[in-house]
C-alpha cells in the first residue's frame, strides 16, 4: 500500500446524477453490444445494513468527527450558473480571479442583492439562501490591480506610461491598474435545505447530495477567504511551521481536510490532517539549483527547467507584479530583443526600437544584471505576445502545488516527516478546528449550522485474532497482530532446486549470502540444494543500456546452465527503483517462465533473509502459515460451499505521467477450501480510467477478459468444482462510483460466468475497501493506537448502507488508518458478525509478512501484481503498442488504443509470482 495515501485527500463526492464520462461510455458500449431483443436489466441499488455486529470486546474510542447541529429550514438553496466575461465578451478562463470578482460584486451591489450571502465554488456555481431579485442578474465589476501581471505592450519586460495594462485576454485602453468584468448569474435550480435532513437519514437523492455539496463549498470559501491553498476539500495555510523541506526545491505542506458527512448519529464534520507538496517559495534561481541538484546557474539544464517552471507563478522586480510562467526565451538576456515603444517628444508621437532585455533593465530601470546576462529569460506573457524577465528578478510566490512525481527519497522523507502519533494528531485537529473559526461564518449561521468543539465518542469492538497453524501441525495465537516464525517450520515447503544466482554488479559476499540462506532455509523445513552457478555481470556491461545488460545475463545463463533453471536469485545494486528490475522480471516471467526473487544485498541480516525465504517459498508453491479454521474447514459460509475470492484494483501512473496506461489486476483464490493461495491476471487500460474495462471481453467464442482465467483456474485447482459463491473485494473507487461498480463491473463478472456455462448461477457478494478516507480512531485515556482487530459499525458509519471500519493491523508508527469496507451487494447473506470476522481473517493470510496487514490480502496482492507487471513496460515506451496477448492494444469507448502487457508464461501464470 502506498504510505502516502493517508495524507492525500480523496476525490470530492459527485452527486449521484453525475456519471464520470468514461464509465458512462463503457456502459453505453456494453449496451450497444447487447442484442436488440435483450431486456434492460433493472438497476441494482446499494444494500441496507442487515444489523450491527456484536462479537468482540467493547472498547471506548474517539473519532475525528465533530457533531453538527442543524436547524432544518423550509427555505431553499438557489443555484446560479456564473458566466464571467471581459469587456470584449471573451470568457474569463484564468483560475483565481473568479473569487476576487465575486467578492467585489457582492461588496459593490450589496443593497441590490438584498444583503445575500454567497457560497461560490470559485468556478461556475454560486448558491444563495433564498432567491436573488431577478432570475437572470447582470453586473459590471471593476477590479483594481488584480495581480494578473501587468506588463508593457509589445512584449517589453516592464510597463511604461504609454502602454495599456496587460491582462489575461485582449488589452483594453483604460487606466493602468483596473480591469472590467461582466458577470451574469443565471438561476439553474433550487435545492430544499430540508434535504440536509434526508442526507442524515441516509435517504440519498440528488437533492441531499447537492445540499451537502453546498455546505462543503461554504467550507472551501471560508478557507479561501483566509488565503489558503485549496486542494479539493483540503486547506493549507501559508504557515512556515507547517512546511517540511523534502529537497529538490519541494516542500511538504501540512494542512487539514474538512467535509460534512451524514452518519448514524446525524450530520458530522470530519476533520483530518492532510499533506500536499508545494514548490519552495523564494528566489527562482534557488528553486532551479535545488531542483536539478547543481551548484551554479551555468550548470542548469534549461529544457528540463522549462518543464519544471511551466505555469508556476512569480513576482517580478521591480514592480512586484504577479505573473504566470509560460516558458523561456529562445536566446539569453543579452541577446533576446523585443520592440520597445517610446514617446517622441511631447506631441504624442511614438517610435519603436529593438532593444535587448539586459539593455532595457540597465538603461530604463537602472538595474545591472549580476548573473542573468548569459541565461534565458523567463517568459510570463502570452504565446503570441511574450513578456521577458531576467531569472534573478523573479521570486516564486508561496503556496503553489508541486504536481510532478516525487523521487523515492522525497517520498520517503514526506512520509516520515508527515507522521504524527495519535495524541499529537488529536491536538493538531482540535487546533485546526479552533483556527478555522467556522462559527463566525455568516453563511453557515444562515444555514442554521453549529459545530461541536469535541471529538465524537463512540464504541468499537476488538475481534480476537484467528488461531494459526505452522509446520508440524503447530498451532499458535498471534499477539498484537504479530507472530514469530523464528523457531517454527513453514506449513507447506517447496524445494529450492535447479537454481542459480545472478549478480548485476551488486557488491557483496555472494558465497556467504548463499550459506546464510541455506542455514535459515533448512531451519524452516525447506529443501535447499546448492546453486548450480553464480553468474556475475561482466564489469564492461555495467554502464550498458538496461536491455543489453539483461540480454547479456541470459546469454550467460544459457551457456553456463545445463537447462532452464526453476528459480533465479537476482542481486541488484540499488534497493529501490533499480532500472534492471522491470526488464529482468519481464524476461523471466513473460518470456521464460522462471520464478525469480530480487534482493539488494545492502544491510542483509537473518531477519531480512527470513523474509526473503517467505517470499521464495510462496512463489515456488509453498505456504508459510494457514489459519486453523482454514485447515479444519471451519470458516462459516466460505468453507461450506466452493467459494472463490477475488481482489480487484486499478493502479494509475504517478503525477506527471497522465498518459501512462492504467493497470487493472484481478487476484483470485485457488485450491478451495484454502483462502491463502492466490494467482493474478493483469491487463492495461486507458489512462486514469477507474472502472475496469477488461473483466469480460468476448471475441467470437472466446473471452479474453480478466475473470475467465480466474474461474477456470479455480475449477482445475479445486477438484473440478465451480464456485457456488463469488466474494469480490474491490479497491480504489469513491462513493460516487458505487452504483457503477454494481451495475457495470458486477454485471461483466456475471456475464463472464454465463459465457462459461449458461446454466451456472453462483451467488455474489461485492465489497469495496477504501483506505483513502479521513476517519481516524483514538483510544480514550491512552496515547497508543487502537488495538489490532478494532471494528466500528456504529455512530460514524452510513445511516443506512452496510459499511464498517476495521483496523486489523497494529499501528506501530504514526496514527493507524482503518480500512472502510462498504458491502454493496450480498446474495450470500452474511450476517454483520460473519462478514466482519471473515474480513478480519483475510488480513492474516498475507504470505509476505508475519503481521496482520491493514487491508484484506487479495487486495494487497492485486496492488503488488499491478505494480510488478507495470514495471514490464517503461513509461518512455508507451508509444510501442507491441503485445503478445491477443493482438493489438485494446480500446475502451472514447479512448486511445493502449499497449497491452505481455502475457505471463504458462509455467508461472498460476504461481504467486507477485509475492
Q: What is the pLDDT of residue 693?
A: 86
Mean pLDDT of 315-328: 89
- Tell me the per-residue pLDDT of 669-697, one tens digit each, with 9 for 90 and over: 999 999 999 999 999 888 888 888 889 98
Q: Is the pLDDT of residue 793 over 80?
A: yes
Please state, in angstroms and rounded to a whole number, the distance separating the CA atoms of residues 638 and 725.
Answer: 8
- DSSP SS3 for 488: coil
Q: Is the pLDDT of residue 880 over 80?
A: no
- Tell me the per-residue pLDDT of 390-422, one tens digit each, with 9 for 90 and over: 999 999 999 999 988 888 889 889 988 888 999
- Tell me the per-residue pLDDT of 114-173, one tens digit each, with 9 for 90 and over: 889 999 999 999 999 999 988 788 899 998 765 544 444 344 565 443 332 333 333 333
Q: Is the pLDDT of residue 21 over 50?
A: no
**What pTM value is reported for the model?**
0.87
Q: What is the pLDDT of residue 620?
A: 95
Tally of CB atoms within 10 A around 214:
23
| Bridge partner residues of 763 (DSSP) | 725
* pLDDT-based confidence at residue 755 (cuts at 50, 70, 90): very high
> Which range is least confidently modeled, 21-25, 233-237, 442-446, 478-482?
21-25
Q: What is the pLDDT of residue 164?
A: 28
Q: Is the pLDDT of residue 24 over 60?
A: no
* pLDDT-based confidence at residue 540 (cuts at 50, 70, 90): confident
- Where helices occur in 373-504 by DSSP H, the ranges are 408-418, 422-436, 442-446
Of 501 and 206, the structure prediction assigns the larger pLDDT to 501
Q: Is the pLDDT of residue 521 over 70?
A: yes
Closest of 567, 571, 615 to residue 589, by C-alpha: 567
Give the angle subtended at the CA of 273 by the CAs of 731 and 451, to the nearest 5°: 105
Q: What is the pLDDT of residue 129?
A: 93
Give the contacts of 499 (CB within 8 A, at least 6 positions apart). 529, 531, 532, 565, 566, 567, 568, 569
Query: Are the CB atoms for 843 and 753 separated by under 8 Å?
Result: no
Give the angle subtended at the CA of 827 by the CAs of 823 and 832, to the nearest 5°: 45
Q: Is the pLDDT of residue 68 over 60?
A: yes
Write down the residue that cell numbers 439553474 correspond to: 188
- Tell me the per-residue pLDDT of 268-307, one tens digit each, with 9 for 90 and over: 999 999 999 999 999 999 999 999 999 999 899 999 999 9
> Which range is least confidently modeled, 443-457, 691-705, 827-841?
691-705
Mean pLDDT, the chain, rounded, equals: 86
Q: Work out whether the CA dihedral 627, 631, 635, 639 comes out positive or negative.
A: positive
Query: Are the CB atoms for 164 and 112 separated by under 8 Å?
Result: no
Q: Is the pLDDT of residue 527 over 80?
A: yes
Please state, in angstroms and rounded to a whole number, the distance separating the CA atoms of residues 364 and 338.
Answer: 14
* pLDDT-based confidence at residue 806 (cuts at 50, 70, 90): very high
Q: DSSP letter for 248, please.
A: T
Q: What is the pLDDT of residue 753?
A: 94
Q: Is the pLDDT of residue 775 over 80?
A: yes
Query: Are the CB atoms for 875 and 653 separated by under 8 Å?
Result: yes
- DSSP SS3 for 390: coil
Q: Is the pLDDT of residue 15 over 70?
A: no
Q: Is the pLDDT of residue 881 over 60?
A: no
Give the angle subtended at the CA of 74 by the CAs of 72 and 80, to the nearest 5°: 105
Q: What is the pLDDT of residue 638?
A: 95
Share of the chain above pLDDT 70, in %: 88
Write down the residue that cell numbers 564492461 correspond to: 540
Mean pLDDT of 630-646: 95
Mean pLDDT of 234-259: 92
Share of the chain above pLDDT 90, in %: 64
- DSSP SS3 for 789: coil
Q: What is the pLDDT of residue 153?
A: 38
- Where helices occur in 369-509 by DSSP H, the ranges are 408-418, 422-436, 442-446
- Tell me the per-residue pLDDT of 253-272, one tens digit each, with 9 for 90 and over: 999 999 999 999 999 999 99
Q: What is the pLDDT of residue 187?
A: 93
Q: How far, rounded to the nearest angstrom, does the alpha carbon of residue 695 sit from its chain's CA centroid?
A: 22
Cell of 63: 473519532
Output b/e per residue, 129-167; b: 16+ Cβ within 10 A: beebeeeebebebebeebbbbbbbbebbbbbeeebbbbb
Closest of 866, 2, 807 to residue 465, by C-alpha: 807
Q: What is the pLDDT of residue 90?
A: 87
> Which range is least confidently modeled, 84-88, 135-139, 654-658?
654-658
Mean pLDDT of 876-895: 37
Q: What is the pLDDT of residue 269?
A: 94
Q: Is the pLDDT of residue 2 over 50?
A: no
Mean pLDDT of 26-44: 55
Please state, in angstroms and rounded to a whole number, the distance separating the CA atoms of residues 646 and 648.
Answer: 6
* pLDDT-based confidence at residue 20 (cuts at 50, 70, 90): very low
Q: What is the pLDDT of residue 776?
A: 96
Half-sphere exposure of 818 (CA within 13 A, CB side): 30
Cis peptide before 318 (omega within 30 of 0): yes
Provide the Cα torsion 634, 640, 644, 649; round to 10°: -60
Q: What is the pLDDT of residue 36?
A: 47
Give the contacts of 44 (CB within 8 A, at least 6 positions apart). 739, 742, 743, 746, 825
Q: How far is CA 522 from CA 103, 138, 250, 626, in A?
A: 74, 82, 48, 20
H or E element in which residue 210 lies: helix 206-225
Q: What is the pLDDT of residue 39?
A: 55
Give the contacts of 70 (CB within 8 A, at least 6 positions apart). 196, 197, 200, 266, 267, 447, 448, 449
Q: Is the pLDDT of residue 745 over 60?
A: yes
Cell of 143: 477590479
Q: DSSP letter for 482, please.
A: B
Amino acid at each position: 500500500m502506498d504510505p502516502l495515501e493517508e495524507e492525500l485527500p480523496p476525490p470530492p463526492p459527485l452527486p449521484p446524477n453525475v456519471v464520470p464520462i468514461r464509465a458512462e461510455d463503457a456502459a453505453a458500449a456494453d449496451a450497444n453490444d447487447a442484442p436488440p431483443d435483450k431486456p434492460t436489466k433493472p438497476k441494482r441499488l446499494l444494500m441496507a445494513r442487515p444489523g450491527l455486529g456484536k462479537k468482540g470486546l467493547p472498547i471506548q474510542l474517539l473519532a475525528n468527527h465533530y457533531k453538527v447541529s442543524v436547524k432544518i429550514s423550509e427555505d431553499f438553496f438557489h443555484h446560479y450558473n456564473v458566466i464571467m466575461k471581459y469587456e470584449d465578451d471573451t470568457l474569463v478562463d484564468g483560475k483565481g480571479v473568479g473569487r476576487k470578482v465575486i467578492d467585489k460584486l457582492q461588496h459593490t451591489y450589496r443593497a441590490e442583492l438584498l444583503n445575500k450571502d454567497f457560497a461560490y465554488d470559485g468556478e461556475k456555481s454560486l448558491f444563495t439562501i433564498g432567491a436573488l431579485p431577478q432570475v437572470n442578474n447582470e453586473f459590471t465589476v471593476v477590479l483594481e490591480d488584480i495581480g494578473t501581471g501587468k506588463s508593457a505592450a509589445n512584449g517589453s519586460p516592464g510597463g511604461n506610461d504609454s502602454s495599456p495594462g496587460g491582462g489575461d485576454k485582449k488589452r483594453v485602453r483604460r487606466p493602468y491598474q483596473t480591469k472590467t468584468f461582466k458577470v451574469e448569474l443565471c438561476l439553474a435550480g433550487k435545492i430544499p435545505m430540508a434535504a440536509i435532513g434526508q442526507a442524515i437519514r441516509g435517504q440519498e437523492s440528488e437533492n441531499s447530495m447537492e445540499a451537502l455539496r453546498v455546505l462543503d463549498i461554504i467550507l472551501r470559501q471560508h478557507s479561501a477567504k483566509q488565503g489558503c491553498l485549496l486542494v479539493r476539500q483540503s486547506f493549507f495555510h501559508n504557515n512556515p511551521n507547517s512546511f517540511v523541506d523534502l529537497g529538490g526545491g519541494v516542500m511538504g505542506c501540512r494542512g487539514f481536510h474538512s467535509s460534512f458527512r451524514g452518519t448514524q448519529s446525524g450530520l458530522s464534520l470530519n476533520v483530518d490532517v492532510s499533506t500536499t507538496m508545494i514548490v519552495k517559495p523564494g528566489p527562482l534561481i534557488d528553486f532551479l539549483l535545488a531542483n536539478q541538484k547543481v551548484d551554479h546557474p551555468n550548470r542548469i539544464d534549461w529544457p528540463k527547467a522549462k518543464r519544471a517552471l511551466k505555469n508556476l507563478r512569480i513576482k517580478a522586480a521591480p514592480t512586484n507584479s504577479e505573473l504566470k510562467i509560460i516558458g523561456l526565451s529562445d536566446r539569453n538576456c543579452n541577446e533576446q530583443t523585443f520592440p520597445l515603444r517610446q514617446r517622441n517628444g511631447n506631441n504624442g508621437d511614438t517610435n519603436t526600437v529593438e532593444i535587448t532585455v539586459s539593455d532595457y533593465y540597465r538603461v530604463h530601470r537602472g538595474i545591472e544584471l549580476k548573473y542573468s546576462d548569459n541565461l534565458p529569460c523567463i517568459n510570463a506573457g502570452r504565446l503570441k505576445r511574450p513578456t521577458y524577465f531576467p531569472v534573478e528578478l523573479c521570486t516564486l510566490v508561496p503556496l503553489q502545488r508541486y504536481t510532478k512525481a516525487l523521487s523515492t527519497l522525497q517520498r520517503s522523507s514526506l512520509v516520515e516527516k508527515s507522521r504524527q502519533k495519535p495524541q499529537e494528531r488529536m491536538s493538531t485537529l482540535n487546533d485546526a478546528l479552533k483556527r478555522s473559526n467556522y462559527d463566525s461564518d455568516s453563511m453557515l449561521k444562515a444555514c442554521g449550522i453549529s459545530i461541536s468543539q469535541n471529538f465524537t465518542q463512540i464504541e468499537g469492538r476488538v475481534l480476537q485474532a484467528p488461531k494459526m497453524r505452522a509446520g508440524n501441525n503447530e498451532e499458535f495465537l498471534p499477539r498484537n497482530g504479530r507472530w514469530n516464525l523464528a523457531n517454527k517450520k513453514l506449513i507447506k515447503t517447496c524445494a529450492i532446486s535447479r537454481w542459480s544466482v545472478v549478480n548485476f554488479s551488486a557488491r557483496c559476499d555472494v558465497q556467504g549470502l548463499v550459506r546464510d540462506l541455506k542455514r535459515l532455509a533448512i531451519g524452516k523445513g525447506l529443501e535447499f540444494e546448492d546453486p548450480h552457478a553464480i553468474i556475475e555481470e561482466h564489469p564492461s556491461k555495467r554502464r550498458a543500456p538496461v536491455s543489453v545488460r539483461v540480454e547479456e545475463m541470459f546469454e550467460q545463463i544459457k551457456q553456463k546452465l545445463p537447462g532452464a533453471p526453476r528459480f533465479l536469485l537476482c542481486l541488484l545494486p540499488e534497493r529501490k527503483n533499480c532500472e534492471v528490475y522491470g526488464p529482468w522480471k519481464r524476461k523471466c516471467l513473460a518470456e521464460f517462465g522462471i520464478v525469480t526473487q530480487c534482493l539488494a544485498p545492502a544491510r542483509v541480516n537473518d531477519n531480512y533473509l527470513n523474509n526473503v525465504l517467505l517470499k521464495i517459498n510462496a512463489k515456488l508453491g509453498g505456504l508459510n502459515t494457514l489459519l486453523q479454521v482454514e485447515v479444519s474447514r471451519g470458516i462459516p459460509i466460505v468453507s461450506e460451499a466452493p467459494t472463490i475470492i477475488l481482489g480487484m484494483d486499478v493502479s494509475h501512473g504517478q503525477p506527471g505521467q497522465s498518459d501512462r496506461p492504467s493497470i487493472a489486476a484481478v487476484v483470485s483464490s485457488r485450491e478451495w477450501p484454502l483462502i491463502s493461495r492466490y494467482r493474478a491476471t493483469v491487463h492495461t487500460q486507458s489512462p486514469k480510467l477507474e472502472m475496469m474495462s477488461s473483466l469480460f471481453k468476448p471475441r467470437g467464442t472466446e473471452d479474453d477478459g480478466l475473470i475467465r482465467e480466474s474461474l477456470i483456474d479455480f475449477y482445475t485447482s479445486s477438484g473440478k468444482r465451480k464456485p457456488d459463491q463469488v466474494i469480490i473485494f474491490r479497491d480504489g473507487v469513491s462513493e460516487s462510483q458505487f452504483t457503477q461498480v454494481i451495475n457495470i463491473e458486477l454485471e461483466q463478472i456475471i456475464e463472464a460466468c454465463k459465457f462459461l456455462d449458461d446454466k451456472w448461477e453462483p451467488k455474489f457478494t461485492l465489497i469495496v475497501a477504501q483506505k483513502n478516507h479521513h476517519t481516524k480512531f483514538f483510544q480514550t485515556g491512552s496515547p497508543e493506537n487502537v488495538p489490532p482487530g478494532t471494528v466500528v459499525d456504529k455512530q460514524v458509519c452510513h445511516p443506512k448502507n452496510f459499511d464498517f471500519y476495521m483496523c486489523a493491523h497494529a499501528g506501530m508508527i504514526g496514527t493507524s488508518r482503518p480500512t472502510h469496507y462498504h458491502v454493496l451487494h450480498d446474495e450470500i447473506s452474511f450476517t454483520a458478525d460473519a462478514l466482519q470476522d471473515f474480513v478480519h481473517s483475510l488480513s492474516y493470510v498475507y504470505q509476505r509478512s508475519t503481521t496482520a496487514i491493514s487491508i484484506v490480502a487479495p487486495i494487497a496482492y492485486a496492488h503488488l501484481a499491478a505494480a510488478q507487471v507495470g514495471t514490464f513496460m517503461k513509461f518512455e515506451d508507451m508509444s510501442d503498442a507491441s503485445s503478445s496477448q491477443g493482438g493489438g492494444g485494446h480500446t475502451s469507448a472514447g479512448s486511445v488504443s493502449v499497449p497491452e502487457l505481455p502475457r505471463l508464461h504458462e509455467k508461472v501464470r498460476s504461481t504467486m509470482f507477485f509475492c
